[in-house]
Amino acid sequence: MNYITHSLGGVAAGFAVISATGISDPVQQTTVVTGAVLGSLFLDIDHRQSWIGHKAPIAAEVASGLFKHRGFLHTPVFILLIWILLSAGIPIWFGGSPQLHLAILFKQGFVPGMLSHLILDTLNIQGIMWLWPISKKRQHILPIRTGSLGEVAVCAVLSAVLLGQYNIFF
Ligand SMILES: [Zn+2]
């Protein structure tokens, strides 16, 4: 899926977190959604030609050299590792700082944002390794190709859901 589809997935993930947690402060809401959108784009750092790969070329060079596209970085295990890293790191990096609460909210968006990426890539014909390391078989539930009309349809559905559920474009 391309970065527009993933960003919409990230926005949806962020709004789901906001409604589940009842966060009402606009700054806190923005932090959650920002984290979710960045999380939704982050996993394609394993692909140099991706949107995030162009924004962070050195990181993409390293990540794509170490891991195949849609390999380890596109697994629930990797997301779990990032969640553990952020959960352990944020209190150390931001401890005592007024930014601590916002950093925690950012993480609360970032992790579901990454999960939205895996879900959307599962609609793509290439699929992802949901069961890694038990199985290296990639699973997909729809045969949509990146950039195809099918992907446009996914974008339209996501936009309609966001519009209907959260009225976010107005
Ligand atoms: Zn991907």
pLDDT tens per residue across span 32-43: 999 999 999 999
Q: What is the Å distance from ligand 1's center to 147 Cα?
A: 13
Distance 132 CA to ligand 1 centre (A): 15
How far, CA to CA in Å, does 153 sit from each of 5, 40, 92, 158? 10, 19, 43, 9
The per-residue pLDDT for 169 is 58
CA of residue 43 to ligand 1 center, whole Å: 6
pLDDT in tens, 50-106: 999 999 999 999 999 999 999 999 999 999 999 999 999 999 999 889 999 999 999
Cα 70 to ligand 1 centroid, rounded to whole Å: 6
78 alpha carbon to ligand 1 midpoint, in Å? 13
Tell how far the Cα of 160 is from the centroid of ligand 1, in angstroms: 22
Residue 166's pLDDT is what?
Answer: 77
Instruction: Provide the domain limits for residue 153.
Output: 3-166
Task: Band the pLDDT of 168: cuts 50, 70, 90.
Answer: low
Distance 121 CA to ligand 1 centre (A): 6
**CA–CA distance, 45 with 53 (Å, rounded to integer):** 5
User: Residue 68 and residue 70: Cα distance in Å, rounded?
Assistant: 6
How many domains would you assign to the chain? Answer: 1
User: For 98-136, b where at least 16 C-beta lie within 10 A, e where not — what string?
Assistant: eeeebbbbbbbbbbbbbbbbbebbbbbebbbbbebeeee
